Amino acid sequence: QVQLVESGGGSVQPGGSLRLSCTASGISFSAYSMGWYRQAPGKQRELVARIGSGGYTSYADSTKGLFTISRDNAKKMVYLQMNSLKPEDTAIYYCNGDHFGLVYWGQGTQVTVSS
């Protein structure tokens, strides 16, 4: 059974930081491209950042230089370090695993940025 379980969400003031974690099970984690997506109320789900099986990273323009994605293949975990958070970063953040079109999603974790 494949599971992607996110953690680390919560409420933070503007300018604050959060670190999201995603723990994978049931997949050959090191072979998967892993990503973080987010969906704000009334908006479509959008890519935040991805990290390939070889460690190559890519980011949405809105998160470049502010967010950092990383992975630990031994622990089967992917992380998203989010700095200088803004109210517009408020969303449910989802972990995603993709292996040549075989795609899995986590249940999501809420991030709220508000003063």
**Rounded to whole angstroms, how far apart are CA atoms 90 and 103?**
24
Q: What is the pLDDT of residues 40-50, one digit of tens each?
A: 999 999 999 99
pLDDT for position 22: 98
Average pLDDT, the chain: 97
Q: Is residue 60 very low, low, confident or very high in pLDDT (cuts 50, 70, 90)?
A: very high
β-pairing verdict for 18-25 and 57-59: unpaired
State what percent of residues in the chain have pLDDT above 70. Answer: 100
**Rounded to whole angstroms, how far apart are CA atoms 56 and 93?**
21
